[in-house]
Structure 1
């Protein structure tokens, strides 16, 4: 066992000195010494319990439990610890036992980040229709599964059923109160039999009480795998694939408070997304079918180098046979929410100008500074009135409170000189009641050194358009988990004139790994609407491009695995086939930060195979 002196300051309390055997929970490098004490589940009517994953009195941490410091232990999931896969797990700790300065006390990557939606007839452009109707191939996704990890689905929509028979094999609604279930750790699961019974009833919600209030998940599902509708002139990319739906529960309130997310924003937390993907993989194993996962969500939190838990989890999936993940690149290209600076012998200091709008003056906002670890960064904050306060680089184990005299603003700062997962410097800012106007951050480094740094504001939906950098950079704006090295990161273009979606995020990731990988149609796309039965709507965004790509991946799985042409086809195989068949303009160099390897053309991919 480790002793008190083996832990970092702030990570040890005497009452938590329990053995692994007593708790069955892992000591890990992220959460060394912090073990949750038993607390009773809170009950709601009808005897249903709110488990720690849904209980606001617990905080969640994503850990790499196989790297524990106490030797090999056989772990099992229980109400305080949930296994995602052989590397990642989620530990639930009572909020009363979590140190106040959570950013400094734990590895920042262990704190779940918050994600939101990445959107606001392209089948011919992607070469899909020709394969639907090809006299020999006739690829439509038969025998495959597509998983949508999002806001749920309108399962009554005609796009997802044949008469009263649903094409959805399972819905896991994480937001519903939990009953006793061995299948999922919280929420409720509805089978195809239950969905079919609901479709045949006068009030479907009485049998399957799961709905897509936002409609985002319904749109993605219809673009990926919706039925052909000749009257509307629409079809999903894989209209004969079956669907696994995960409706994510809203992020917990403590995370919204930590990241100062406005109350109206719909956001989801990282560990729920990971558990949703894990559930989809288990469904694919049960039904013995290849799986294509769509994640149309994004976040600008983290170092943008693919080292966050969700990004690493997605990368690991691509290595295995019969699984792939399509991810939205994000819509941050023109949002002016990224700043890039370079300190060298000629430029020893850099001044960033940040315009703060009226909405943020009420709710506040968070901001992340990430600098290359080769340097120490000295940062001074200047308010719109000219008052200057310096961030201490020495107080690395506590939260600094910078209180301005001439404006009623406090800036809470966590300075992490070497963030444990990335190795880079992280400065995490929380602006409380910031004054409207132009704020400045002056950054300097050591003499005779060279280092690059990035500053990101939250993505659209978590901050208003009135708050932005005056001199922003569209580069390095691909959102997480689009920075995942082995994931299929998809940007969007207008298929009618082959122009890039103006709001699309630009690559690469900050390790200069090529992102996005390629482009798919994602502008003015017609998709099923949640609500009145059978209606359709138009929307744009990179999440729609990711949805079509997930359907395209299902077609490749049908050809490779279901028909036996390539029985060990993996997520990396799908990505490399699509890269090879992508359409490229003669006067442009590829790969590039806007288009990756070009526009997806599945028919061209098959032409190259022959």
Structure 2
């Protein structure tokens, strides 16, 4: 009922609906944002959450989906609110997301690569959504040949000039008409930023958009992209708020860092836009976090899986830059009674530290802590049901430990340990095996971008270093490799997730790719941000072939993965899939062959392929040759 009302709301009644169902009006929430007197969380709920908040005057919610919402609550009032609103079933703090690495080189005389795939596909009829730092909309490579912008919408969360998007209490939305008018105004000497104030200050989003769908300008222009006729929908994220860093007990870094609620809002915005325009959309999310156990159950991952159930909307990302392993450790408590130690080096600049430990049911593993001086707390007792957190002191260090035991349907337990006023030196997290069945454990620190100095695990594991949300079931991710050596870059995040999913699906190149810079320049881009952009461009071409041209209308995430896996090339000496590169290196020539073969098979198919059940009769399964031979031997016995 609430979801139906939410989707059908008219502009005229928006503010009334906000007051009734959110507890706070737009202006009241904006005031909390401006004063910094708030905390934000992503929540899961049941029932009529709006009615539950109708009597709350110190917090509000924005419903993003039938069971998910963004919670804004005054500082220090979260526990009170949870007691008053039993409809809230799950609360997660807004995790911190870092941009995917991208280094920009202005020297385009170096050896570089551009996309000349020679496929009869150009992204026509497909929208590519990009979430990040925005886009240089004035660049002519993002217009068509008539000078009309190919950017259909921009939601800039950082500008408060209005109009705001429907259902979101902040930011400014610009339409294609606004953007085109700004471009034409500049051409006659006007000030485009008076019409559309949006800018991409550091060029991250512009470089991504360039490799995906920048237009060749003709004549001697050497630039090429993957899907030059695609359209764009852009969300520029607001930076994480000061209170989010306070909740996470981290100092604000100099670089761009974002938070869950902004990312979730961006995804919902693009999802709504896709449903409105009825065109296939692939969304590229070039950022990630170390929050979560790589089991696909963070609220953002479950939210993504919910929105990507339909065949015309998909989300891709890259595996991140934590592959060196300094922020992940894993191991085995071999038997009941054994003790395992996780050594951590803490830099003098580090003021506090969060360590997240994940174990598997039915194991019972207690934790302890030993500081650099050799003093320890052994077998820290679990909090009672009323406590939630256990607060302890080890010399000058204040320690807060949160146990989350029995997470539904996952088979995993988690322990989050916060050490305040941490001192430099070698710390040990001690794991005591009280009752061991498997004994496997994983531990993560925050991503290295958020750590100070040389803070790291001393016995790291480079596997399972892919970032959240890669472990969401419907997300498609890529690692990145150096196409000049055909080797996966060391820092590239690796799989596999702990939920049994195969990610990364594949690997794509990411070194010295010719792309678009700010101020109408060409640059070379290197990093996992470029690799993910290539994957997004490839899916735009698949959408054009399958949905726009009608060759395969039912392109759900699983079918997209099948096509991509079939389009990889492999090295003879490697076993696939593997943690570094999934099923192999994406190859556009092979992708074209796969699509061409599928087009021929579809034309020769007598079944009604729009009927998903009958289409299964045409299912193609690729079985390794040796396994197939063994199966045939069994059949002949």
**Category of TM-score, reference length = shorter chain:** 0.7 to 0.9
d(CA) in 2 for partners of 1:551 and 1:297? 17
d(CA) in 2 for partners of 1:55 and 1:232? 50
1:283-432 maps to which residues of 2 (within 5 A)? 283-345=273-335, 348-360=338-350, 363-390=351-378, 392-396=380-384, 397-405=387-395, 408-419=396-407, 422=410, 424-432=412-420
CA contact (8 A) 1:490 1:546 kept: yes
Greater share of helix: 2
d(CA) in 2 for partners of 1:513 and 1:439? 33
1:14 maps to: none
1:38-117 maps to which residues of 2 (within 5 A)? 38=24, 41=27, 50=30, 56-65=36-45, 67-68=46-47, 80-99=60-79, 110-117=92-99
1:282 lines up with 2:267 in the alignment: no
Q: 3-state SS of the aligned residue for 1:466?
A: coil
CA contact (8 A) 1:324 1:572 kept: no
CA contact (8 A) 1:128 1:603 kept: no
1:7 maps to: none
d(CA) in 2 for partners of 1:498 and 1:234? 23
Q: 2:201 aligns with which of 193, 213, 224?
A: 213
Shift of 1:108: 6.6
Q: What stretches of structure 2 of length at least 5 have no aligned partner?
A: 1-16, 103-107, 598-637
d(CA) in 2 for partners of 1:39 and 1:82? 11
Q: 2:148 aligns with which of 165, 190, 205?
A: 165
Q: 3-state SS of the aligned residue for 1:234?
A: coil
Q: What stretches of structure 1 of length at least 5 have no aligned partner?
A: 1-20, 26-35, 43-48, 133-137
d(CA) in 2 for partners of 1:348 and 1:228? 63
d(CA) in 1 for partners of 2:217 and 2:420? 50
1:566 lines up with 2:552 in the alignment: yes
Q: 3-state SS of the aligned residue for 1:148?
A: strand
1:491-506 maps to which residues of 2 (within 5 A)? 491-506=479-494
CA contact (8 A) 2:330 2:461 kept: yes
Shift of 1:198: 1.8
2:575 maps to: 589
Q: 3-state SS of the aligned residue for 2:443?
A: strand
d(CA) in 2 for partners of 1:89 and 1:108? 10
d(CA) in 2 for partners of 1:70 and 1:229? 52
CA contact (8 A) 2:318 2:529 kept: yes
Shift of 1:606: 3.0
Q: 3-state SS of the aligned residue for 2:271?
A: helix
Over residues 414-460 of structure 1, what are the superposed CA-to-partner deviations in whole Å (9 max), with x where a residue is unaligned? 23333468553222122323211111111112145432111101113
1:183 maps to: 166
Q: 2:122 aligns with which of 110, 124, 140?
A: 140
d(CA) in 1 for partners of 2:260 and 2:489? 27
- Change over 3 Å in CA distance of 1:538–1:584 after alignment to 2: same
1:196 maps to: 180
Q: 1:118 aligns with which of 83, 100, 114?
A: 100
Q: 3-state SS of the aligned residue for 1:446?
A: strand
Over residues 286-334 of structure 1, what are the superposed CA-to-partner deviations in whole Å (9 max), with x where a residue is unaligned? 3221101101111111111111122223333443121121111111110
1:251-290 maps to which residues of 2 (within 5 A)? 251-264=240-253, 265-290=255-280
Shift of 1:552: 0.9
- Change over 3 Å in CA distance of 1:182–1:386 after alignment to 2: closer
d(CA) in 1 for partners of 2:300 and 2:592? 32
Shift of 1:283: 1.9
2:138 maps to: 156
Greater Cα shift, 276-285 or 454-463:
276-285
d(CA) in 2 for partners of 1:319 and 1:548? 23
Over residues 532-584 of structure 1, what are the superposed CA-to-partner deviations in whole Å (9 max), with x where a residue is unaligned? x1123333322221111111111111111111212232333222111112111
- Change over 3 Å in CA distance of 1:366–1:203 after alignment to 2: farther
1:131 maps to: 118
1:489 lines up with 2:477 in the alignment: yes
d(CA) in 2 for partners of 1:139 and 1:505? 30
CA contact (8 A) 2:482 2:509 kept: yes
TM, length-normalised to structure 1: 0.83
d(CA) in 1 for partners of 2:271 and 2:35? 26
CA contact (8 A) 1:372 1:425 kept: yes
Higher CA-based Rg: 2
Q: 3-state SS of the aligned residue for 1:310?
A: helix
Q: 3-state SS of the aligned residue for 1:413?
A: strand
- Change over 3 Å in CA distance of 1:215–1:184 after alignment to 2: farther
d(CA) in 1 for partners of 2:495 and 2:217? 36
d(CA) in 1 for partners of 2:49 and 2:191? 54
- Change over 3 Å in CA distance of 1:252–1:420 after alignment to 2: farther
d(CA) in 1 for partners of 2:125 and 2:422? 54
- Change over 3 Å in CA distance of 1:411–1:322 after alignment to 2: same
CA contact (8 A) 1:101 1:399 kept: no
- Change over 3 Å in CA distance of 1:150–1:587 after alignment to 2: same
d(CA) in 1 for partners of 2:18 and 2:230? 46
Q: 3-state SS of the aligned residue for 2:586?
A: coil
2:512 maps to: 524
Shift of 1:472: 0.5
Q: How many residues align?
A: 556
TM, length-normalised to structure 2: 0.80
d(CA) in 2 for partners of 1:192 and 1:60? 31
1:237 lines up with 2:226 in the alignment: yes
Greater Cα shift, 81-90 or 207-216:
81-90
d(CA) in 2 for partners of 1:166 and 1:519? 32
1:31 maps to: none
d(CA) in 2 for partners of 1:269 and 1:232? 39
d(CA) in 2 for partners of 1:38 and 1:318? 30
